[in-house]
């Protein structure tokens, strides 16, 4: 079942690759303090994710920060190397944390893990989640094949 507003972020691990290597993070610690906008995508370098979803958060970065967002994070069921390269190619460094979930642990804990068929396999479904001090305050789930409510522009209107 998908996480809902009012629920605490569940415990799960994910990775972030930096210039110093790959670090494993605990969701309880990462989301514990401040306001985070977490958006999940089916995959790095996939068409809608690369052409629309990630770019909206880069474009709206300053507006989101001005609206009180402390951290923006992109989650995908990909390895940390892929997420780092995707982030670098889109100039997300210092703006968006690229959360790698290679085994779908965090996606599953959030109720976002879905099987997207023989090409993509198990992936995170497209959505955006607003998290305040470890508690979910809003979940913006997309229907399959749609990109509307999880855009940065729509998230900004929900803050």
Residue ranges per structural domain of the chain: 13-158
Could you read off the pLDDT of 47-58 as tens digits, one per residue? 888 888 999 999
Tell me how crowded residue 99 is: count the other CB atoms within 10 A of its CB.
24
- Model confidence pLDDT, tens digit, residues 7-21: 999 999 999 999 899
DSSP state, residue 159: -
Which fold, 13-158?
Glutaredoxin (3.40.30)
pLDDT of amino acid 74? 98
Structural Rg of the chain based on CA atoms: 14
Average pLDDT, the chain: 94
Q: What digits encode the pLDDT tens for the residues 130-149?
A: 999 999 999 999 987 788 89
CB 150 within 8 A of CB 72: no
Dihedral sign computed on CA atoms, order 92, 95, 101, 106: negative
The per-residue pLDDT for 121 is 74
Sort strands 21-26 and 13-18 into parallel, antiparallel or unpaired: antiparallel
Q: What is the pLDDT of residue 158?
A: 95
Residue 1 has pLDDT above 90, yes or no: no
Question: Residue 109's pLDDT is what?
Answer: 98
Q: What is the pLDDT of residue 79?
A: 96
State the pLDDT at residue 114. 87
- Tell me the catalytic residues: 49
Looking at residues 108-120, what average pLDDT do you find? 88
Residues 6+ apart with CB under 8 A from 29: none
- 42: confidence class by pLDDT, cuts 50, 70, 90: very high
Q: Which residue has the tokens 């803050």?
A: 159
pTM exceeding 0.75: yes
């Amino acid at each position: 079942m998908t996480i809902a507003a009012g629920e605490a972020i569940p415990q799960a691990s994910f990775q972030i690759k930096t210039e110093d290597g790959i670090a494993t993070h605990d969701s309880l610690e990462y989301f514990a303090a401040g306001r985070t906008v977490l958006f999940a995508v089916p995959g790095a370098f996939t068409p809608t994710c690369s052409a629309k979803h990630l770019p909206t958060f880069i474009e709206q970065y300053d507006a989101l920060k001005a609206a009180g967002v402390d951290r923006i994070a992109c989650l995908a069921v990909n390895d940390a190397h892929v997420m780092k390269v995707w982030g670098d190619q889109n100039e997300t460094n210092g703006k968006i944390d690229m959360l790698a979930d290679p085994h779908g642990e965090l996606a599953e804990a959030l109720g976002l893990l879905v099987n997207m068929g023989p090409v993509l396999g198990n992936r995170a479904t497209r959505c955006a989640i607003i998290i305040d001090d470890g508690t979910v305050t809003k979940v913006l789930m997309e229907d399959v094949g749609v990109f509307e409510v999880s855009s940065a522009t729509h998230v900004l209107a929900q803050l």
